[in-house]
Amino acid sequence: MSRPLRYRRILVKLSGEALMGDQPFGIAPHVVQAVAQELAGVHELGIQVAAVIGGGNIIRGVSAHEQGIDRITGDSMGMLATVINALALSSAIEKIGVPTRVQTAIEMHQFAEPFIRRRALRHLEKGRIVLFAGGTGSPFFTTDSAAALRANEIHADILIKATKVDGIYDADPMKSPSARLIPRLSYSDVLKRELKVMDAAAISLCMETGIPVQVCNIAKTGNLKRVVSGEDIGSLVGPEEGR
């Protein structure tokens, strides 16, 4: 007997770096195809799927600022990079046969729809995967914050932070072989311990509205399906026990 689905509507946060593969920058087609398969696989279960994608594989606003570019200009460049990634992922998903819509926080009608909450909800109800690009549309806010914002706006049951590691660790697993996975944390734990899960603004917004944040490894085939099917994988950030 199949396990019942835990969620009806999800928002997946994808980093731009996740699309690079082993490249130093840019988009690796095989990685985009693999991510598209993961999202489409969850969609096939009857779950409404939305995603927010970053642009760090092309340019990051903070990095651009460090190279002498004005911070607001750099952040604007980063927001445009997320649109490139969303269009690439949209194309890969539609090649599988799943309809998509790209919505941007910055209007660019020739390439995508502007973000309109009611239209986004309608797309989800119609069975389309909705890709949110352009961050929040404002400088100084990360795509983590955009993911928390959009998750709240569409009333997602959970925000899934899809990463290159298995979850949240007590140390950097890339540098420390003894790092231990932490399967469950409260929002307060993440903020107090300054764990680099998502930025503080994103975690605070999820804490305020009670949206859980699941951190899992997108590179492991089937992990998204395991999350929505109720398997305890990765790390879950939520309210403190008893609340």
Q: Which of 7-11, 27-31, 68-72, 154-158 has the lowest mean pLDDT?
A: 68-72
Is 4 among the domain residues? no
**Percent of the chain at pLDDT exceeding 70:** 96
Higher pLDDT, 18 or 42: 42
pLDDT tens per residue, range 180-212: 999 999 999 999 998 888 999 999 999 999 999
Q: Which domain holds residue 162?
A: 9-238
pLDDT tens per residue, range 161-178: 998 889 999 888 878 888
The total of other beta-carbon atoms located within 10 Å of residue 178's CB is 8
> Mean pLDDT of all residues in the chain?
92
User: Look-up: residue for tokens 């995603």?
Assistant: 51
Return the sign of the alpha-carbon dihedral for residues 78, 80, 84, 85.
Answer: positive
CA distance linking residue 135 with residue 52, whole number of Å: 8
Residues 44, 5: contact at Cβ < 8 Å? Answer: no
Does residue 64 have a pLDDT over 80? no
Residue-wise burial string across 221-243, b where 16 or more C-beta atoms lie within 10 A, e elsewhere: eebbbebbbeeebbbbbbeeeee
pLDDT tens per residue, range 26-44: 999 999 999 999 999 999 9
Does residue 1 have a pLDDT over 70? no
Residue 236: which of 170, 169, 168 has the closest Cα? 168
Given pLDDT bands bounded at 50, 70 and 90, which one contains residue 91? Answer: very high
Is 187 among the domain residues? yes
Residue 195: which of 227, 153, 235, 137 has the closest Cα? 235
Is 119 among the domain residues? yes
What CATH number should be reported for the domain holding residue 16? 3.40.1160.10
pLDDT tens per residue, range 111-144: 999 999 999 999 999 999 999 999 999 999 999 9
Provide the pLDDT for residue 24.
84
Residues 202, 142: contact at Cβ < 8 Å? Answer: yes
CA distance linking residue 22 with residue 221, whole number of Å: 17
CA distance linking residue 36 with residue 124, whole number of Å: 17
Given pLDDT bands bounded at 50, 70 and 90, which one contains residue 109? Answer: very high
Binning the chain into helix, strand and coil, the percentages to the nearest 5 are: 40, 20, 45
> 3-class DSSP state for residue 114?
strand
Is 1 among the domain residues? no
Is 13 among the domain residues? yes
Residue type, 57: N
Half-sphere exposure of 215 (CA within 13 A, CB side): 26
Is 85 among the domain residues? yes
Is 243 among the domain residues? no
CA-to-CA dists, residue 13 to 16, 69, 242, angstroms: 10, 27, 28
Is 2 among the domain residues? no
CA distance linking residue 151 with residue 10, whole number of Å: 8
Provide the pLDDT for residue 196.
82
The model's pTM: 0.93
User: Look-up: residue for tokens 């502007």?
Assistant: 114
CA distance linking residue 106 with residue 102, whole number of Å: 12
Does residue 241 have a pLDDT over 70? no
Number of domains, the chain: 1
Provide the pLDDT for residue 2.
56
Provide the pLDDT for residue 43.
97
